[in-house]
Amino acid sequence: MHTVVVGTSGTTAEDVIAVARGNARVELSAEALEALGRAREIVDALAAKPEPVYGVSTGFGALASRHISPELRAQLQRNIVRSHAAGMGPRVEREVVRALMFLRLKTVASGHTGVRPSVAQTMADLLNAGITPVVHEYGSLGCSGDLAPLSHCALALMGEGDAEGPDGVVRPAGELLAAHRIEPVELREKEGLALLNGTDGMLGMLVMALADLDTLYKSADITAALTLEALLGTEKVLAPELHAIRPHPGQAAAAANMAAVLKGSGLTGHFQEESAPRVQDAYSVRCAPQVAGAGRDTMAHAALVAFRELAAAVDNPVVLPDGRVESNGNFHGAPVAYVLDFLAIAAADLGSIAERRTDRLLDKNRSHGLPPFLAEDAGVDSGLMIAQYTQAALVSEMKRLAVPASADSIPSSAMQEDHVSMGWSAARKLRTAVDNLTRIIAIELYAATRAIELRHGLTPAPASQAAIAAVRAAGVQGPGPDRFLAPDLAAADAFVRAGALVAAVEPVTGPLA
C-alpha cells in the first residue's frame, strides 16, 4: 500500500487524495517528530510560568481573559473539544473527513502547534486503522478554523463520540480504538485548541474538487466537440492562431482539446452544403473554448491558493522558531473560501453552456437536419425531450449554488469572532455543484452521441468513434424507440464520473490538457 510521509513543510494535493480516497498509510517523518518535541518543550515551559498565555493557560475566544490554574488545564482542553463538537445535520462523506484529519495532522507535524508527538502519532494511527469520526454537515463558520468538524475528529482521538470503522459500521469511538489497540489521548495544555483551529475541511474539499473538475473540464471539451460534429459545425474556430491573439492559457488548451477530438471528422465543414448556409455557429458551440478556458484559468488560480495553504501551518496561537508563542489570524478561511465560490461560478457557467448545446441538438429548427428531440418517430416518441428538462433543472440549481457563501458573515463568540469566512459552506455547495456538473455533461454526451449516430452516411472523427464505442460498451444505449430513460442517464453519469470518457478518447488524441 502507498505510504504518505508527513514532514514539517506541508503536503501535496496528490498526498491528500491518496489518503482521503486511496486509503494510503500515513507516517510521521523523523524530522516532524523532532520538531514536535522541540515545540512541546516551549509550551511546557510557558505553562510552568505564572504569566497567562493564550491557549496554554487561559480560556478561549471571548473567555480568553480568564487565567486557568494548572490543575484545571487538562479539563479545559477536554472541555473545548466536547463543547465544540456541536455539529448537526447529515454525516459528511468519509473522504472529506479523512482529508480533514490528514490536513490537521499536516499542520500539527509542522512543529508550530505545540502538540506532543504522541498525539500526532495517534492521529496517524486513526487514519491507518480506517477509523473515521462522524462529522456533521453544519457547524463551521470557516473562522477559527472548521471548529465543529475538527472537534468531532478530536473527540474520537479522546475515545469519545461516534466513528465509522473500516467495515463501514458506526460504533462508539472508544470501542473502535480499543479494537485497534489505540490508546485514547489525554489532552494537555494547548492541545485541544491546536486540534480545532484549521481550515482543513474546506481545504480538503478544495483539493478534491480541483481533481474532479480537471477531469470534468476535459470531458466537457469532448462533449462540446461531439456536439459541434453532430450539428455539422466548423472546426475552423479552434485554430491555434485565433487563440494566440487572445492569450488566455485555458482558452488555448480547451480549443486544442476540441481540435484533437475533431481531427479527421467527416461531419465538420458542411456550412455551404445546406439550403440555408451558415456563416457562424451559435455562441454555445463557437465560444466553447472561451467559456471552458476561463474556467480552467479559474482552476489554476484556485490550485495556487491550495498549494500555498497546503504548505501552511494554520493554528492560533503558533509556536515560532525563536520560541515565541504568538496569537494570529491565520485560521481565517477567506483565501480558501473565495476560490471555492469562484469555482462554483465557473462550474455553473460550464453547465449552462453545455445545456444550451444539448437544447440545440434537440430543436429541429436549429439542429440542421436532425429529427425533433432525436426521437425515432417524433410524435409517437418523445426522444430526449425530458432529458433536457433534467439538465435544465440541474443548471438552475447550479446557478443558485453559484451565489457566494463568502460574501456573508455572521458574528459569533460574543462578537469576539465578528467576521467569519463561511468557507466550509462554500466548500459544501461546491461539492454539490461538481456532482451536478457531472450529470449535465453526461446528458450532453448522451444527446451528442445519439445525434452523431443519426447522421447516416457521414463518418465521425476517430476520437468520436472511440467515445461512442466506449459509452455504448458501458451500457448507454443508442438511437431507437422511447424507453425507460433514467437507467441510460445513470450509466452515462457513472461513465463520465469515473473519467472513462477522457480515458476512451486519449488513446486517439494523446493526453488532453
* Catalytically active residues, by annotation: 54
Task: Please answer whether residues 166 and 130 qualify as being in contact, where contact means their C-beta atoms are separated by less than 8 angstroms.
Answer: yes
Grid look-up 440555408 returns 276
Decide: helix, strand or coil at residue 136. Answer: strand
Three-class SS state of 398:
helix
Q: What are phi and psi of 88, to 5 degrees?
A: -140, 165
111 neighbors 315 (Cβ within 8 angstroms):
no
Taking a C-beta distance cutoff of 8 angstroms, is the pair 436, 398 a contact?
yes
Query: Do 142 and 424 contact (CB within 8 A), yes or no?
Result: yes
What is the C-alpha separation between 319 and 76, in angstroms, rounded? 20
Helix 334-362 vs helix 200-230: angle between axes, to the nearest 10 degrees?
Answer: 20
Q: Which three cell numbers stand for residue 289?
A: 473554448
Compute the distance between CA of residue 513 and CA of residue 508 in angstroms, rounded to an integer.
14
**DSSP label of 279:** S
Query: Which secondary structure element, helix H or strand E, spans residue 47, and what is its range?
Result: helix 30-47
All 3 cell numbers of residue 164?
465509522
3-state helix, strand, coil in the chain (%, to 5): 55, 5, 35
Peptide bond into 249 cis (omega under 30): no
- The answer to whether the beta carbons of residues 466 and 512 sit under 8 Å apart is no
Nearest CA to 222 out of 477, 402, 446 is that of 446
Q: Which residues contact 181 (CB under 8 A, 6 or more apart)?
A: none
